[in-house]
Structure 1
Amino acid sequence: MINVNGKWALITGASRGVGYQTAIFMAKQGCNLILHSRKLENTKAVEEEVKALGVEAYSVEAELARQEEVVKMLDEIEAKGTQVDIVFNNAAVQIAYRNDYWNTPVEDFEQSFQINFIAAVTICNRFIPKMLERGFGRVINTTSGIRNEPEQAGYAASKAALDKFTKDLASRLEGSNVMLNLTDPGWCRTDLGGPQAPNDVRSVIPGIAVGAFVDDKQSGRFFPAQSFTGLSLEEAVAKAEQMEAQPYVI
């Protein structure tokens, strides 16, 4: 199991929900954090909370719907000289629930793909090559189990694109100590998931973060967070390393 003490992790969407849970959990493991949100003030309290746990942390801001802000954020991180060892591409948006799905506005797809897919790809493409140069890295892309719901077509399609990108890129990382995997928090009571969701957001721990700790040089796997609820981190890692990447079904 990887020891993340002293390593640096970037968490997108760190101010609340799953991102917040991930930040607190990683800080408790001794991991330094770069906390992303739309505005710096959104992560001020989280930053103070994780620093109180004894780690270094700072905040960055970017509206992921604007590609130029994504690039500016990454430039800022590199200008600080931070060596990013772990990435949690957690931030996402669900634009709307369209009962009249035949008339889903094209803007739903444009915004969903920019925030949920293109921003994550941009982050991967910036940091993974440097991870390969250093010989270590972990990237965990957050997907969704939503299916058969055309009412959420923009969101679901953007996550399917992220799945495809992750699995395809993972084929180039297999056997290296840079690992790229997927996770799904499940349907949780968050701002995105809504109050009717069956799972408390705290149930995502430790599964949402297990991809940062696996150490078997395998990529392209899917770690459903709810399958790890109640396990210790050590138990979760042992279970995760028994999982195999599922091939595409044609």
Structure 2
Amino acid sequence: MRNNTPRTALVTGGARGIGVEMCRQLADKGLRVLIGARRPQAAEETCRAIGPAALPLTLDVTSAQSVTEAVREAGQLTGGIDVLVNNAGVSLDGELRPPYVDEDVLRATLDTNFTGAWRVTQAVVPGMVEAGYGRVVNITSSYGSLALMDSGRHPAYRISKTALNALTRMLAAELSGTGVLVNAADPGWTRSGMGGPSAPRGPEVGADTPVWLATLPEGSETTGGLFADRKPLPW
């Protein structure tokens, strides 16, 4: 902890869907939570719903300038970020399947789901390394697992999550021994704006594994893994 204050978590895409539930659960565990959202009003509404442990943070992960400004503001508000949940994501594929590709859809998907997560991580991790403590959780999907991939549905989304999985592995190896743990979590098919109302899992279930990884205790050696329901999945 910094100066005996609670640890601070930043959740990107924290004002909608499963992100809101992750923020709620992290706050319930005693963390201060920065609600990262493109729309300030959405972040403020989520903060009111969660309570005083939540703070709004305007953040667009597709903009390097927005990321830089948001992380600077976070430092001023809380002294630094101890936990990062890269939750912001989009699914834009529709019925498109390979070998056909809509390059605009592919670029937009990668920019949020992969490059956006990398942008925020790049801005946050140096402070974690300096503090000797950090937790990075990348919200992914079994759709991105090469071992489990058996369909061409949602190709841009799948490829973006495969890339995010690779980034998770590389970061975990690079940060080994620094006190910063990096893992990926598959929340499963969860009821949300992306998952839709017919999904079998409630947000509270989908948020459990990401929150577990975000709050791994000091001394934990769990890093570089892909997890669903707190159990490892193959890459």
Do they superpose with TM above 0.5? yes
Alpha-carbon distance in 2 for matches of 1:29, 1:7: 10
Aligned residue for 2:110, secondary structure, equals helix
Structure 1: unaligned runs, 5 residues or longer? 229-239
Residue 176 (structure 1) aligned with residue 178 (structure 2): yes
Alpha-carbon distance in 2 for matches of 1:99, 1:119: 23
Which residue matches 2:135? 138
Q: Deviation at 1:158?
A: 0.7
Specify the code of the residue in structure 1 equivalent to 2:118.
Answer: V
User: Within 5 Å, which residues of 2 pair with 1:124-135?
Assistant: 124-135=121-132
Residue 16 (structure 1) aligned with residue 13 (structure 2): no
Aligned residue for 2:118, secondary structure, equals helix
Alpha-carbon distance in 2 for matches of 1:65, 1:122: 8
CA deviations 1:131-185 (Å, max 9, x no partner) are 1111111111111111334231111111110100110111122233211111010
Aligned residue for 1:60, secondary structure, equals strand
Cα distance change of structure 1 residues 6 and 113 upon mapping to structure 2, 3 Å threshold = same
Q: Quick one: which of 88, 92, 95 aligns to 1:95?
A: 92
Which residue matches 1:120? 117
CA deviations 1:100-154 (Å, max 9, x no partner) are 5443310111111110111111111111122111111111111111133423111
Alpha-carbon distance in 2 for matches of 1:165, 1:51: 33
Q: Deviation at 1:207?
A: 1.7
Aligned residue for 1:103, secondary structure, equals coil
* Cα root mean square deviation, aligned: 2.3
Q: Deviation at 1:31?
A: 0.5
User: Where has structure 1 moved over 6 Å in runs of 4 or more?
Assistant: none
CA deviations 1:32-60 (Å, max 9, x no partner) are 011111101012222113225xx2x3212
Per mean C-alpha deviation after superposition, the further-off stretch among 210-219 and 89-98 is 210-219
CA deviations 1:166-224 (Å, max 9, x no partner) are 10111122233211111010011111112232222221242221112223133101121
Alpha-carbon distance in 2 for matches of 1:75, 1:111: 25
Alpha-carbon distance in 2 for matches of 1:204, 1:45: 22
Answer whether contact 1:19 1:90 (CA < 8 A) is retained.
yes
Q: Quick one: which of 192, 213, 217 aligns to 2:221?
A: 217
**Number of equivalenced pairs:** 225
Aligned residue for 2:224, secondary structure, equals coil
- Percentage of identical aligned residues: 25
User: Within 5 Å, which residues of 2 pair with 1:165-244?
Assistant: 165-215=167-217, 216-224=220-228, 227-228=229-230
Cα distance change of structure 1 residues 223 and 110 upon mapping to structure 2, 3 Å threshold = same
Alpha-carbon distance in 2 for matches of 1:62, 1:205: 21
Alpha-carbon distance in 2 for matches of 1:214, 1:79: 25
Q: Quick one: which of 72, 76, 81 aligns to 1:75?
A: 72
Which residue matches 1:158? 160
Answer whether contact 2:37 2:58 (CA < 8 A) is retained.
yes
Per mean C-alpha deviation after superposition, the further-off stretch among 126-135 and 65-74 is 65-74
Q: TM-score, normalised by structure 2?
A: 0.86
Q: TM-score, normalised by structure 1?
A: 0.82
Alpha-carbon distance in 1 for matches of 2:64, 2:212: 29
Aligned residue for 1:58, secondary structure, equals strand
Alpha-carbon distance in 2 for matches of 1:74, 1:149: 38
Specify the code of the residue in structure 2 equivalent to 1:50.
Answer: I
